[in-house]
A and B are shown apart, each in its own frame.
Chain A
Amino acid sequence: MKTTENIFDDTAIIVSDGCCVQLANNPALDDVTFEIKKGKKVAVVGPNGGGKSTLFNAIAGLVPVINGSLKINGMSPKDAKGTISYVPQRDLINRNFPLSVKQVVEMGLINKNTLNLFSRKEINLKIKEALTNVGLSEKINENINNLSGGQFQRVLIARGLAQDADILLLDEAFSAVDVGAQEDIMSLINDINLDGKTILVATHDLNNLEKNFDEVLCLNRHCCAYGDPAEVLTEDVIEEMYGSHYEMFKYHASENHEKNND
């Protein structure tokens, strides 16, 4: 049985050293430096256009790093492809296709050498196992268009589990889902994290970061801060990211503290 002692070690799995990325000749990430250790749950926060998705794209090897370096498990992002599972923002997925939950999860097991039309027995077992882990085993033959936003997000996470990826990137995992579904997804992320997966979640929700994440990466084209949420989410850092909206965050945060204390 896996224990937290043997899964979480001090190995850095993502190392960004002065990483710079340009999009259409404009700097999208500038001199971003941080180091994420294996098995950490990291929230990536920042304003719209702050570079959260760009950072995920760079880690996933979808956009080139023009300066500095970015290493995944000691490899370049392009070489690390296959060890990462990326759940992109929902509008980037083509839900016109009337696919079953099983077909979507099976995509986690497809690689460039997959040339067969039919699923083998061991593939079906892995799909069932991944769906059981996200609590959707009874929905295996359901059409994805009949699922709620939260359930669909869980199916995409199951795809990452079937792939057995070391790193899970969840872009805007909590957007367009209700509070109950957000809690379900967070609880699922906690369960996956217990298996030693490194999980990065891009989110706009600054509340509950302390409770839910080991570390927070604050981005506004550059790295404003990185570390324990309780320590790094200071007034200065929040103002550096969002301008003068600190009061709003403070109000929500204190409200949550009161609720938790109750």
Chain B
Amino acid sequence: MIEVLVEPFKYEFMIRSIITAVASGIMLSTLGPFAINRNMGFMADAMAHATLPIIAVGVFFGFSISELGVPASVLIAFFLGYIIKNSNVGEDTAIGIIFSSFFALGFVLISVLNVTINLEDLLFGQILAVSRFDVFIVVSMCVVVVGLMVVFFKQLLFYSFDPIGAEVKGLNTNFLNYLFLVVLSVAIVASLQTVGIILVLSMLLIPAAASKLVTNTFVFSIYVSIIFGTFSSVSGLYLSYFYNLPSGPTMSLVATGIFIICFFVNKLKKVKIQ
């Protein structure tokens, strides 16, 4: 058993991949409970898709996705936050417009600028190809995201639960709103290499949703979400290594498997109570 667990560590690319998977798993599943309780799944999906035109232009000018990560995510967070607040067409509609138009713009730019991007890797992730620099960026982002969440946890929780009460209490709600959008966007963009644009949502939402089904308190749901997210990332990577499966989709499927188990555990608990 231990031999099986240790075997992938013989290869440097696997060590890099596992570190990246753990960092992505921790980062996304820390934010997941906030995202699902604030119904921000669609927003997170839009953030992931909105990266495509920025990546296309960045690659055209010779930057890698990791180098583009932080500026791209800050740009997306502020742009989405501003449009949603000021568009007067409703949050869902505004997100939908940005989501589809940015994704379309990304494909058009890739074609017009004639940049070489492996779209399959971008959409579904290619964690096995991460460089040392990519690992450094993802781990750094993980430390920053988790650190900010720890420092502002109580204020963010108050704002998420009762935004009006928080504002009346004197909290800087505008700052808290953009802070969460920025950390969410950073986590999503930093995880694109791990699971890709399409599947990043699954790593954000599924561990958090599964943990909500089997926990009673919000803080505990974050801890369990982190365990589920990290386990999904690492075990997905192992399965993809041993069975030659695509890594991003395998991680998503492991997370889905955990969700299904939690779903039935939750049902059983309800039946027992009745």
Q: Could you tell me which A residues sit within 8 Å of B by CB distance?
A: 60-62, 81-82, 84-88, 92-94, 96-100, 103-104, 106-108, 110-112, 114-117, 143, 156, 159, 163
Contact = CB atoms under 8 A, between A and B. Distances in A.
Contact of B155 (A93, A112, A159): A112
B161 A114 contact: no
B208 to A, nearest CB: 12
A99 B34 CA distance: 12
Contacts of B216: 98, 143
Interface of B: 36-39, 150-155, 157-158, 160-172, 212, 215-218, 221
Contacts of A81: 167-170
21 contacts: A81-B168, A85-B168, A88-B162, A94-B162, A96-B39, A97-B218, A98-B212, A98-B215, A107-B157, A107-B162, A107-B166, A107-B169, A108-B169, A110-B155, A110-B169, A112-B171, A114-B155, A115-B151, A117-B150, A117-B151, A163-B169
A182 to B, nearest CB: 22
A93 B150 contact: no
A117 B160 CA distance: 16
Contacts of A92: 162-164
A98 B209 CA distance: 13
A62 B167 contact: yes
Contacts of A99: 157, 161, 217-218
Nearest to B164: A88
A77 to B, nearest CB: 9
Given A62-B168, A92-B164, A111-B171, 18 more contacts: A60-B167, A81-B168, A81-B170, A82-B169, A85-B168, A96-B36, A96-B39, A97-B160, A97-B161, A103-B157, A106-B154, A107-B154, A107-B157, A107-B158, A108-B169, A114-B155, A117-B151, A117-B154
Nearest to A100: B217
B154 A96 contact: no
Nearest to B152: A115
Nearest to A104: B161
B218 to A, nearest CB: 5
Main secondary structure, interface of A, reads loop
B274 to A, nearest CB: 16
B217 to A, nearest CB: 6
Nearest to A143: B216
**Residue among B36, B160, B163, B170 facing the most chain A CB atoms (10 A cut-off):** B170
A32 B83 CA distance: 34
Question: Which 7 residue pairs of A and B lie closest in terms of their CB atoms, listed nearest first?
Answer: A81-B170, A96-B37, A86-B168, A82-B170, A60-B168, A107-B158, A88-B164
Contacts of A115: 151-152, 155
Contact of A86 (B155, B165, B212, B215): B165
B179 to A, nearest CB: 12
A96 B162 CA distance: 11
**Residue among B36, B152, B216 facing the most chain A CB atoms (10 A cut-off):** B216
Nearest to B33: A97
Contacts of A62: 164, 167-168
Contacts of B154: 106-107, 110, 114, 116-117
A93 B159 CA distance: 10
A112 B175 CA distance: 10
A103 B157 CA distance: 9
Contacts of B151: 115, 117
A110 B168 contact: no
B270 to A, nearest CB: 14
A212 B240 CA distance: 69
Contacts of B38: 94, 96
Contacts of A112: 155, 170-172
Contacts of A86: 164-165, 168
A110 B169 CA distance: 8
**Residue among B151, B155, B168, B212 facing the most chain A CB atoms (10 A cut-off):** B168
Contacts of A84: 168
A203 B169 CA distance: 23
A89 to B, nearest CB: 9
A85 to B, nearest CB: 7
A159 B154 CA distance: 14
Contacts of A110: 154-155, 158, 169, 171
Nearest to A60: B168
Contacts of A159: 165
A165 to B, nearest CB: 9
Contacts of B172: 112
A207 to B, nearest CB: 28
B207 to A, nearest CB: 16
A86 B168 CA distance: 7
Given A110-B171, A116-B154, A117-B150, A98 B165 contact: no
Contacts of B39: 96
